Structure 1
Amino acid sequence: MPKINTVRIHPTALFTIVDSYEHRPQAQDRVIGTLLGTFDYAKGAVEVTSAFHVNHSETGKEVALDMEYAKTTTALHFRVNPTEQVIGWFATGAEITDTSVLIHSYYCSLTKNPPVHLTVDTTMKESDARMGIKAYLGVSFGVPNRTIGTMFPPCKVEIQGYEEEMVALRLCKRTKSSRLTQGVALPSELATVIEACSEMRSMLKIVMTYVDDVLAGRREADNSVGRLLMDMMHSIPKMDNERFQEVLNGDMKDLLMVTFLTMITKAQLSVNEKFCLI
């Protein structure tokens, strides 16, 4: 079986874990739950797309899980998204506890692949105001028919998301610089286009500066960067300048027309509401 060395986590799963921790019972130190996603053995990675909390209780070295709830919730997730599968479990905290082996053995029975164990330091005690995220792949070791144990070698953790998730994250980031009383509103479509064009222009400026420095001998060339630039150039459709300007102007006119009609509709509804009040 190919080796898994990377765990890719979507923001939706992280928000679910943090929300479960914030709404935990007062006497409970940590929460655990099931991770759902897909295995990508071609790239040696596991993609965590969603998660859900599982009720449990711990007493010393003993742990009890609400297995009936876990099975029901898993079945409901599969009905909504049949491409997902159980890939492991999460626990809040920065350490692997004594009961982690018992919980991990339960999740080994739910998947044919080695389950992933994800720890999320929601208390942020070990890092400087950052939520520590670590991933492990449970591996059995020992003498067959004798003593058998489980060790947790670490895996590389990457945060990735769909375009919709990244839009939400950028909006959440804006709340850091705004007052809570003001709030943050979703930008209009025209503002989104302007922001995207500005970001693209900044990134193109960085690329052009890098290429100029390499050609002038001020910077050593990187083959991996060159291959990425080549792939980017090949991904651009072949189109002359006049055709590009025509397509761009046509899309811009359509966007402006939709924005104009939206404003007229809002104004008309507002006028109708005032007349109804009168």
Structure 2
Amino acid sequence: MSSIHVSLPVSGTTRSPTLLTLQALPLLSILNHHTRRPIPSQPRVIGALIGRRTDAGEVVVTNAYAVPHDETRVYFAEKEHKDLLEAFRKVGGDKEGLVGWYATTPTPDVFSALIQNFFSGETAPYPAVHLTVDVTAPASEGSIKAFVSSPIGILPNEFCTFLPLPLSLPSNPPSLLHSTPPTPLASLELALAQTRKDLALVRAYVDSVVSGEKEGDAKVGRELMDVVGRSGEAGNGAEWKKGVEGQLQDTLMVSYLSSLVRSQVELAARINLMQV
């Protein structure tokens, strides 16, 4: 009579991870992916986790990228995943690689088991980690959970069960979890506001030195001359203003192009889903 068995984590270099450390960049990438999902009614998004493993059993997640999928058709964009993974390998070399995957869902389910089996084959002989991010729950560290799987069933890779994995999060994760990623124009507006504050401080410092209220610092003076003067390259006030406006136009153009590229990527993802 056939028996059901549970495979326990193996020891050695391929032993089950003891800790998952999530950095801020991949967390923001996951939130951005969920916010910009092609179909707003889509319950969750999934993607791959990039990172490194330590000899102590720690998995450090340093980056993440989205993978299109459609649960109604059991569709997973394997080709797009492999292309992006190859691009990350060219940049990171042997230092970083695929360590697992993420989903914006409260807990793993049957569909999660199917995807977990796929990524386990991709990360073999190392176990694949699974990260869940609940974007609907109240802000708390419990909204983010990490798991490692263990096969269960009569045949290998038939089913799997998810086991909790200790998780180390970046500082103040609740604010990251429930914050809306700023648009390029919003980021530019914040940067300009900060620049105005910095210019006000510089002007107050210069006025106090000129009036004799404060003794001037030669090092600070050289830095200011290097920024606004550069050996007379800045010219008069009108020329300097024209240069700033030109740089602003360049920034706005880059912002427009990035939004256009993002729209093209989302359109391509929708077309791929429709063709399946």
Among 82, 86, 92, the residue aligned to 1:71: 82
Q: Decide whether the 8 Å contact of 2:16 with 2:148 is kept in 1.
A: no
Q: TM-score when scaled to structure 1? A: 0.60
1:262 alignment partner AA: E
Q: Decide whether the 8 Å contact of 2:146 with 2:166 is kept in 1.
A: yes
What SS is found at the alignment partner of 1:118?
strand
Question: Aligned residues, how many?
Answer: 192
Q: 1:104 maps to which residue?
A: 116
Q: Decide whether the 8 Å contact of 2:101 with 2:130 is kept in 1.
A: yes
Q: Pick closer, same or farther for the CA change 1:147–1:107 going to 2, 3 Å.
A: closer
Q: 2:43 maps to which residue?
A: 29
Aligned counterparts of 1:31 and 1:54: Cα–Cα separation in 2: 8
Q: Decide whether the 8 Å contact of 2:44 with 2:103 is kept in 1.
A: yes
Q: How does 1:83-102 map to 2 (within 5 A)?
A: 83-102=95-114
Deviation at residue 128 of structure 1 after TM alignment: 3.9
- The reply on whether 1:263 has 2:275 as its aligned counterpart is no
Q: How does 1:109-148 map to 2 (within 5 A)?
A: 109-112=121-124, 113-123=126-136, 125=137, 127-128=138-139, 132-143=143-154, 145=155, 148=158
- For residues 122-169 of structure 1, give each alpha carbon's deviation from its aligned partner in whole angstroms, at most 9, with x where no partner exists: 22x2x34667110000111234x48942011101110259xxxxxxx9
Aligned counterparts of 1:147 and 1:18: Cα–Cα separation in 2: 30
Q: Pick closer, same or farther for the CA change 1:107–1:265 going to 2, 3 Å.
A: same
Q: 2:53 maps to which residue?
A: 39
RMSD across aligned positions (CA): 3.5
Aligned counterparts of 1:43 and 1:160: Cα–Cα separation in 2: 20
Q: TM-score when scaled to structure 2? A: 0.60
Deviation at residue 259 of structure 1 after TM alignment: 3.7
Among 9, 17, 20, the residue aligned to 2:33: 20
Residue identity over aligned pairs, in percent, reads 25
Deviation at residue 27 of structure 1 after TM alignment: 2.8
1:98 alignment partner AA: V
- For residues 214-236 of structure 1, give each alpha carbon's deviation from its aligned partner in whole angstroms, at most 9, with x where no partner exists: xxxxxxxxxxxxxxxxxxxxxxx
What SS is found at the alignment partner of 1:93?
coil
Q: Pick closer, same or farther for the CA change 1:258–1:46 going to 2, 3 Å.
A: farther
* Unaligned residue ranges in structure 1 (runs of 5+): 162-168, 192-255
- Ranked by relative contact order (alpha carbons within 8 Å, sequence separation 6 or more), the top structure is 2
Q: 2:253 maps to which residue?
A: none
- For residues 39-69 of structure 1, give each alpha carbon's deviation from its aligned partner in whole angstroms, at most 9, with x where no partner exists: 11x322111111100000012xx62111110
2:44 alignment partner AA: R
